[in-house]
């Protein structure tokens, strides 16, 4: 399919505003103006509408396809939350309004949304306070680690290291490094963190540890109480990566379990759409001793019920966002939490765990499941048997064959600690019929591939393109239509 630039026909009228009376050259010195035109395309509105409609048809999304992409929580995104986020009373609001002193009265509804969302997240997680500013999960991690750094600096602790288990979420090491810490990798044992292994790397230099619970194998970290105790012994803080919070709603609260900092992925647990890779939202919650270090501003409620932004926190880590985070995403998550309520959130967690275990049992006779015990909301299988057999079908091939059947593939080759990994997260919103059909199809693919490996190795065959040459892309570096 041609790029939109190739469809341009100079002179064709798009959505143009009225013609200005003066050109830029009439008002500004020539030396400040560009010599070479930018070269944006000239297209009719229908040209543009057709181009993007056709592009959209070259995509799988949750609405059209079962999308069991492990760790990413591709659950259904309720449509009414889009209606909420599109209300002009929210979309037209300029973010600097609350900075105009008295003008905070012009955005009381938006401030209330932020305040109430923070209160709900505090109760869901058992934390003392939340900030909504981080704009994605990885951004929440960075914010959380910056808070850990500020806490130790304030106490006069000299700490240089952050421990990251090998079963933790993939972005953790980079987040810790970017906040200025040395990263200590902790190997897991039987799929979870082992206190004896932890003891080997734990010392006074450790500022904190980042855990994902359940971890990326979908396993619950049952040694958690012992780990909390060990970390407290050296004044190290425990960080909860909320990538998998959807597995424990109402079953465990991270604050009660001893975590000091947590980030959430509103686009996972609280069902806001993933948008093809963003925007998400990564609010961060903290225990009482870390409240002074939260980013500014913070939304507060006066006795008369008015909301305002407080910037007066001298120990704060400062600003991680220009304003208050991805407000439009927060709105959708707030609406979702209100819609489900206490019982709905617990049921979502229970159904997600039930679905994952059902799928695990349906597949574990054919695919190797390295830690084949009760999992939480997701599980990791391995295609190592198939890869080692005469047919040499790998996880990648199975993924591609699934695309031909109209499914998005599970996450593959992650976590790194399982060879030929296939990570399945069915989510709570898929019906039993969908899960049954998916399992049947996957088993059928494996059977056909055993007889004829090319059935999987040659997949996909029914999509707009077959397998793509990634080496050529990296070497050629054609990153724009002009290169």
Beta carbons within 10 angstroms of residue 301's beta carbon: 14
Which residue, 154 or 388, has its beta carbon nearer to other proteins? 154
Which residue, 65 or 370, has its beta carbon nearer to other proteins? 65
Taking the complex as a whole, how short is the minimal distance between the CB of residue 35 and other proteins, in angstroms?
6
Which residue, 298 or 360, has its beta carbon nearer to other proteins? 360
Taking the complex as a whole, how short is the minimal distance between the CB of residue 447 and other proteins, in angstroms?
20
Taking the complex as a whole, how short is the minimal distance between the CB of residue 451 and other proteins, in angstroms?
22
Say if residues 399 and 447 touch (Cβ distance below 8 Å). no
Q: Which of 61, 45, 58 is nearest to 7 (CA)?
A: 45
Taking the complex as a whole, how short is the minimal distance between the CB of residue 84 and other proteins, in angstroms?
5
Cβ-proximal residues to 29 (8 Å cutoff; 6+ apart), any chain: none
| 35 cis-preceded (ω within 30 degrees of 0) | no
Helix axes 327-363, 108-125, angle to 10 degrees: 30
Task: Give the CA distances from residue 324 to residues 83, 281, 329, in Å, rounded to whole numbers and listed in that order.
Answer: 21, 11, 11
Cβ-proximal residues to 40 (8 Å cutoff; 6+ apart), any chain: none
Taking the complex as a whole, how short is the minimal distance between the CB of residue 461 and other proteins, in angstroms?
10
**Rounded Cα gap, residues 401 and 412, in angstroms:** 13
Which residue, 250 or 292, has its beta carbon nearer to other proteins? 250
Taking the complex as a whole, how short is the minimal distance between the CB of residue 421 and other proteins, in angstroms?
13
Which residue, 348 or 388, has its beta carbon nearer to other proteins? 348
Helix ranges (DSSP H) in 202-282: 224-233, 266-269
314: left (phi over 0), alpha (psi -120 to 50) or beta: alpha
Which residue, 234 or 296, has its beta carbon nearer to other proteins? 296
Which residue, 390 or 480, has its beta carbon nearer to other proteins? 480
Q: Residue holding tokens 């450790």?
A: 206
Q: Residue holding tokens 């759409």?
A: 273
Taking the complex as a whole, how short is the minimal distance between the CB of residue 232 and other proteins, in angstroms?
15
């Amino acid at each position: 399919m041609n790029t939109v630039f190739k469809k341009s026909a100079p002179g064709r009228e798009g959505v143009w505003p009225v013609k200005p009376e003066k050109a830029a050259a009439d008002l500004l010195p020539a030396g400040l103006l560009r010599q070479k035109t930018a070269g944006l395309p000239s297209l009719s509105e229908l040209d543009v509408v057709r181009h993007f409609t056709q592009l959209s048809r070259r995509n799988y999304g949750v609405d059209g396809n079962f999308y069991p992409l492990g760790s990413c929580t591709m659950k259904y995104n309720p449509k009414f939350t889009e209606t909420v986020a599109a209300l002009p009373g929210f979309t037209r609001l300029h973010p600097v309004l609350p900075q105009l002193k008295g003008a905070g009265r012009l955005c009381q509804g938006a401030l209330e949304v932020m305040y109430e969302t923070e209160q709900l997240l505090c109760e869901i997680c058992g934390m003392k306070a939340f900030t909504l500013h981080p704009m994605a999960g990885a951004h929440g991690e960075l914010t959380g680690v910056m808070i850990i750094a500020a806490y130790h600096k304030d106490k006069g602790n000299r700490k240089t290291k952050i421990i990251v288990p090998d079963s933790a979420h993939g972005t953790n090491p980079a987040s810790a490094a970017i906040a200025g810490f040395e990263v200590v990798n902790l190997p897991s044992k039987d799929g979870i963190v082992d206190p004896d292994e932890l003891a080997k790397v734990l010392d006074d230099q450790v500022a904190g540890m980042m855990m994902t619970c359940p971890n990326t194998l979908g396993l619950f970290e049952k040694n958690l109480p012992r780990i909390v105790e060990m970390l407290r012994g050296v004044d190290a803080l425990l960080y909860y990566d909320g990538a998998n919070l959807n597995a424990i709603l109402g079953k465990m609260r991270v604050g009660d379990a001893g975590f000091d900092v947590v980030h959430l992925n509103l686009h996972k647990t609280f069902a806001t759409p993933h948008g093809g890779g963003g925007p998400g939202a990564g609010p961060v919650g903290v225990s009482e001793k870390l409240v002074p270090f939260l980013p500014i501003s913070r939304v507060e409620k006066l006795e008369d019920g008015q909301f305002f932004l407080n910037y007066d926190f001298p120990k704060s880590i400062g600003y991680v966002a220009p304003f208050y985070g991805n407000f439009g995403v927060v709105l959708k998550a707030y609406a979702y939490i209100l819609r489900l309520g206490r019982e709905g959130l617990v049921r979502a967690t229970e159904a997600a765990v039930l679905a994952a275990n059902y799928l695990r049992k349906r597949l574990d006779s054919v695919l190797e499941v390295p830690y084949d015990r009760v999992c939480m909301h997701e599980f990791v299988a391995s295609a190592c048997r198939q890869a080692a057999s005469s047919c040499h079908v790998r996880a990648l091939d199975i993924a591609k064959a699934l695309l031909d059947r109209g499914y998005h593939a599970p996450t593959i080759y992650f976590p790194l600690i399982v060879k030929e990994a296939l990570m399945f997260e069915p989510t709570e919103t898929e019906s039993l019929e969908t899960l049954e059909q998916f399992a049947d199809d996957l088993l059928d693919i494996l059977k056909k591939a055993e007889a004829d490996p090319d059935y999987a190795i040659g997949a996909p065959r029914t999509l707009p393109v077959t397998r793509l040459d990634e080496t050529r892309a990296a070497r050629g570096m054609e990153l724009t239509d002009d290169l």
